[in-house]
Amino acid sequence: GTVTPEDVLVHDLPEEYVVGTIVSKDPSKGVTFIAGPNTGCTEEIYCHNSVADLTYLQRGDLVVFRVHMNKQGKPQASAPLWKRAGRSDGKELSFGHHKGRISSIIAAGGFVDCPELQTAERKDAFVNSSMVHECGLWEGCHISFDTHPNAQGNPQVSSPMWVCCSDPKYLQGRKRDRDDDGHGRRDRRDGEGWGSKGSDPRRVARRMM
């Protein structure tokens, strides 16, 4: 059936970012299309597989990203692209005040490498096992998130979070927007300081501790 784009407000979005919904996907061509009343575009936005890995995107996913115009004058998504993961239970959405990388996953859950949240005991923020599975997290993936204190007073990742579906290199310094053919188009400042370089997002093997 037809996917109806969500009309939602996401607080604390980075500058120039918009919110959209994945309305169609064509794996054979390596593209997805995004739409939404708050994208600033009257037509669907093209997203190439070089910008966001289609493996992690499904019709109906809510995503945040920047838009540029490609060589044909059509709106196209720029990396990095993030998708909402986890239940919101009707609460207002925030893009999250922290960003980090899933450093390890064990039976009880996962740990987020986010230096600003490390406690005096050098403990990373924790993601419980149900959220790890529900959100499809893997070691090396990058997330944007908020936290709440757990029973021990340590930071625990709250639901929902935002998972980066782009190569981690787009979280570092000056990168290039990508056009239809996947070639660099022009320099943009993409999320400088949004996290350290992580593992290839296609590596889904989980290291057990």
Given a cut of 70, whether residue 11 has pLDDT beyond it is yes
List all residues 6 or more positions away from 202 whose beta carbon is below 8 Å from its beta carbon. Answer: 53, 55
Given a cut of 80, whether residue 152 has pLDDT beyond it is yes
Q: What is the pLDDT of residue 193?
A: 33
Q: Pick from 65, 85, 83, 84: which is nearest to 75 by CA?
A: 65
Tell me, yes or no, if the pTM score tops 0.85: no
Residue type, 51: V
Mean pLDDT, the chain, rounded, equals 83
* pLDDT tens-digit readout, 23-76: 999 999 999 999 999 899 999 999 999 999 999 999 999 999 999 999 999 999
Q: How far apart are CA 141 and CA 189, in angstroms?
A: 21
Given a cut of 60, whether residue 179 has pLDDT beyond it is no
